[in-house]
Structure 1
Amino acid sequence: MSITPTGPDELTYAALMAEARALIPALHPGWTDHNPSDPGIALVELFAWLTEILAFQVDEVPDAHTWSFLALLNGPAWRPPPDPAAADLGDAVAAALRELERRHRAVTAADYEHLLRAEWPGSPEAAGLGDARLARLARVHAVARRDLTRPAATAERDAPAHVSVIVVPPPAHAEARPAPSEKLLRAVAAFLDARRLVTTRLRVVGPAYAEIGIAARLGLRADAPPAQALADTVAALRAAFDMFTGGPEDIGRPFGEPVHLSDVYAVLDALPLVDFAEDVTLTGGRPVTAEDDSVSAIGLAPHELAVLRRIELVAHDSYRRPHALTWTAQDTG
């Protein structure tokens, strides 16, 4: 039985040497002597010879041995079919390889996020919450070397061996700052605890929110209805900064991503009823304007999400008449 993708019959000495010689000019253009007397070519020939021998030996492994290897790989709970001769060994090998490639343990921060997205919805811990709606996670984010259970003043300090996992539930009734329940946090912690490295100190917390405000003066196009233009501007800014559907990929802005003035200008420039924007200001930890040469963005901590709290707009129509509109987060309720 062949278990190599191309088949060991194709891994001959001649084929391997031909492929190696074809790759040399691209990988090492300075290597121009491809004669057998060249030491490098001699090494390539040696490895091609060894590879051909190994490919032949692999192809000679009996099916019974392969079933035994599958039993070792799949663990004690797995059993080979009663009649191995009638079973499809190729399918069994493919299934074992897929299981080996599946991430079922959390090592990196990305592993924690993957497990919560892929494995958590069908887990016993999620089912234990009783209601599928209570177990839903709208967003997840893992931060390595941080203990976010510490007070805010010290949460950003380096914490070796710690991983903090942030979970955000779906908003309820246009909730501006959704927070997970203690029951959900405990269930997620129990789910991840069985999958973490034994030396990792796991922390599961809710998100931290950084409130921002936007102010701008708009010049409208000659045929633009002012009320419609202002309403469209508010809607576009809210959509761009929505924590679940905003951002460039429509999945929410990434955790910790700074809010730049250019992000706001990009939204305003795309509006069909707005001719130009000026005096754009971001407010958060401190005001940020285009005239500020040192800072052009509001910085966020790695575990923070930006929340649009207030929009203040003043628009001038073609007659330079001002039209104002102020939106705050309470208006969504």
Structure 2
Amino acid sequence: MPLPLPDLDTRRFDDLVGEMRAMIPLLAPEWTNHNLSDPGITLLELLAWVSEANLYRANRIPARTIANFISLLLGESSIQSDDFRQAMSGVTTQDIERAAGQVSAEIDEVHVRYAEHENRVSVLIVLRAGAMQAADILLAAGMRLQGLWVSGPQLVAESLDGARQRALRFFNDPYRAITTADFEREAMLASAAVGRVSIASFPEAGTITVAVVPAASAIPDAALLRTVKQRLDDRKLVGTRIVVRPPRYTDITLKVLLVTRPNTLKSEVIDTVTAAITGFFNPLVGGRDRRGWPFGRPVSAYELYYLVESLAGVDHVEGLEINADPQAREVPIEDLPSLRSLTITPVN
């Protein structure tokens, strides 16, 4: 007598039909006829019948077949190393407990202390009794050091449920870059030094152009651009060309003539206006929504009038010059504005 197999999904025909009917008011509120004579209900019942048949077949799959399939999806890794190891005394460490199968997915960095010595010192981190993948250790500085490795001498097989959940997490994590949102997400994840990105979809046939704004400076260095491009190249579709470049800034000079309110210190008002305008042009936290200046959005004199006159201590703006033009009302921007000069003058 064969051993009974657990049901992966216990839903039956009536359960599936009831679940789909309950979703009709939410997804299609104009659909009001839910009788069996309605052709739409007939299609739902057909889908429920097909789904029930597929669930029955899925429930008949033995655990060994599932394990082999997951092994094909996730793969296995192993490493050979020399066994010339010697434990060091005086090393302070802290135990890290992880369930089998979650080590490689959850532990990104492990920090240990080791004593400096005139000879080369190696550190061995042993993960006891857990499914894991051997990997090099990266220090916080990002330098790969020779002689540092991870080992699991008492490797224990991962449970089937754990492997199944890990496979689901693996496939639910977005990886391939197809849409503009995909490229933006992957570019932001390339490095913590990336502050913002702008994606131009196919300015040329088959080309994705990515403008990168670093988090700590105005212009990204070559290393950051290479890091972003490498990540996108690994995730793009075949035939897509990736161009990663710095943002193109348009210089802006600004002169503001304003009238302060009575009983206010002009120096404090000038500081307030300076901070507000500088923040308004910030590529990371500027703009009207404080989420960064939108790429390609022109500079509007009317927005600057509104910004300055809404500040405490300002009665009104007497005059405004953008790029030495008192008649300018809108200045086109290629990517982002760069405030090169700001002069604020109270006229009262």
Match of 2:167 in 1: 96
Alignment of 1:127-146 (within 5 A): 136-146=193-203
* 1:285/1:298 contact within 8 Å kept: no
Picking from 202, 206, 209, the partner of 1:161 is: 206
Picking from 302, 310, 329, the partner of 2:341 is: 310
Match of 1:268 in 2: 308
Counterpart-to-counterpart distance in 2, 1:266 and 1:30:
44
SS in 1 for 2:194: coil
Amino acid at match of 2:168: L
Percent identity between the two aligned chains = 30
Counterpart-to-counterpart distance in 2, 1:210 and 1:12:
63
Counterpart-to-counterpart distance in 2, 1:286 and 1:106:
46
Counterpart-to-counterpart distance in 1, 2:201 and 2:315:
45
The alpha-carbon distance between structure 1 residues 204 and 77, as it changes in their structure 2 partners (threshold 3 A), is same
Give the aligned length.
270
Q: How much does 1:207 deviate?
A: 1.9
Name the TM-score, length of structure 1 as normaliser: 0.67
Deviations 1:121-159 (CA, angstroms, capped at 9, x unpaired): 5xxxxxxxxxxxxxx33433332223xxxxxxxxxxxx1
* 1:224/1:273 contact within 8 Å kept: yes
* 1:213/1:308 contact within 8 Å kept: yes
Counterpart-to-counterpart distance in 1, 2:163 and 2:324:
57
SS in 1 for 2:239: coil
The alpha-carbon distance between structure 1 residues 95 and 212, as it changes in their structure 2 partners (threshold 3 A), is same
The alpha-carbon distance between structure 1 residues 61 and 31, as it changes in their structure 2 partners (threshold 3 A), is same
Amino acid at match of 1:115: E
Q: How much does 1:41 deviate?
A: 2.6
Alignment of 1:192-271 (within 5 A): 192-248=232-288, 250-271=290-311
Picking from 188, 213, 217, the partner of 1:117 is: 188
The alpha-carbon distance between structure 1 residues 89 and 223, as it changes in their structure 2 partners (threshold 3 A), is farther
* 1:210/1:284 contact within 8 Å kept: no
Picking from 220, 223, 230, the partner of 1:180 is: 220
Counterpart-to-counterpart distance in 2, 1:29 and 1:169:
46
Amino acid at match of 2:205: P
The alpha-carbon distance between structure 1 residues 193 and 46, as it changes in their structure 2 partners (threshold 3 A), is closer
* 1:212/1:284 contact within 8 Å kept: no
SS in 2 for 1:227: helix
SS in 1 for 2:208: strand
Name the stretch that deviates more: 199-208 or 232-241.
Answer: 199-208
Q: How much does 1:238 deviate?
A: 0.6
The alpha-carbon distance between structure 1 residues 286 and 206, as it changes in their structure 2 partners (threshold 3 A), is farther
Q: How much does 1:214 deviate?
A: 3.1
Match of 1:149 in 2: none
Deviations 1:246-301 (CA, angstroms, capped at 9, x unpaired): 23554532322332334323422431111233444444999533xxxxxxx33323
Q: For structure 1, which runs of at least 5 residues remain unmatched after alignment?
A: 122-135, 147-158, 173-177, 290-296, 317-321, 323-333
The alpha-carbon distance between structure 1 residues 36 and 257, as it changes in their structure 2 partners (threshold 3 A), is same
Q: How much does 1:183 deviate?
A: 4.9
Name the TM-score, length of structure 2 as normaliser: 0.65
Counterpart-to-counterpart distance in 2, 1:230 and 1:262:
19
Counterpart-to-counterpart distance in 2, 1:2 and 1:287:
77
* 1:218/1:276 contact within 8 Å kept: yes
* 2:254/2:324 contact within 8 Å kept: no
Counterpart-to-counterpart distance in 2, 1:198 and 1:20:
38
* 1:268/1:274 contact within 8 Å kept: yes
| Higher percent of residues as helix | 1
SS in 2 for 1:19: helix
Counterpart-to-counterpart distance in 1, 2:219 and 2:325:
22
* 2:190/2:227 contact within 8 Å kept: no
Counterpart-to-counterpart distance in 2, 1:285 and 1:222:
29
Alignment of 1:30-69 (within 5 A): 31-69=31-69
Deviations 1:68-102 (CA, angstroms, capped at 9, x unpaired): 22122224649x97876xx4333322222222233
Amino acid at match of 1:298: V
* 1:211/1:284 contact within 8 Å kept: no
The alpha-carbon distance between structure 1 residues 16 and 286, as it changes in their structure 2 partners (threshold 3 A), is farther
Match of 1:327 in 2: none
Deviations 1:141-198 (CA, angstroms, capped at 9, x unpaired): 332223xxxxxxxxxxxx11112222334556xxxxx433445544544454343333
Match of 2:109 in 1: none
- Larger relative contact order (CA 8 Å, sep ≥ 6): 1
* 1:286/1:298 contact within 8 Å kept: no
* 2:190/2:228 contact within 8 Å kept: no
